[in-house]
Structure 1
Amino acid sequence: MKWKPVSCPERARMRELRKQGWSLDRIGDEFGRPGRTVHFHVADIDVRCRPGTKGLGVNGYARLLKAAEDGVSRAELAARFGLKKSSVSPTLSRLRRARRQTAQEACAC
């Protein structure tokens, strides 16, 4: 494949998707570019994704938690959100713990 420069609108869209929590590889797939190319163009954005996570972002994690509370199976959650089946339960536990902590902090004020 011949190298093709990234246009300004593509770069802006890459940055927007990264801010939404999309992974580098997922953005790369969207534009037909490798994840390393995407990283080059969005590296200055202050987005912190833990290694090994899909980086669903705040909205994605909220949708994940809502779907779990609506009774969607762990296997379906994994498929729907692009996660490993083994990571769904720990992720949900972390989200629930964070929600409880936020609620307790709000009550303490």
Structure 2
Amino acid sequence: MGYNAFGLQESDDADLPVPFPDDFDYDTFLSTHPGRWTSPAVATPTLPPSRSKCGTARRPNKTQPIWDEQAEADFESTSGQVAVWSMSLGRADDVITLADSGGAW
């Protein structure tokens, strides 16, 4: 991830009040704006930078979460498609399809 930061943003972003990367907060693990959430990508030698997930994941001893920090946030999409952004590369060509139309997740 470019400059240790990335975001997921509504693919149809023309009407978003705060486009990526405006108001990016490097000090917050997960920050949100309408139609977007962002996170600093922090890496260690053995773990990938950051992950988004559904459900739960546990270490082999099943007592500690895998991640040092976790957060949840609501996300609303008008199109049902999400674009991935990074600070250095901008918007990725591919999108993530959440649904055939908009909704809340």
Q: TM-score, normalised by structure 1?
A: 0.27
Which structure shows the bigger proportion of residues in helix conformation? 1
Larger radius of gyration: 1
Which structure shows the bigger proportion of residues in strand conformation? 2
Q: TM-score, normalised by structure 2?
A: 0.27
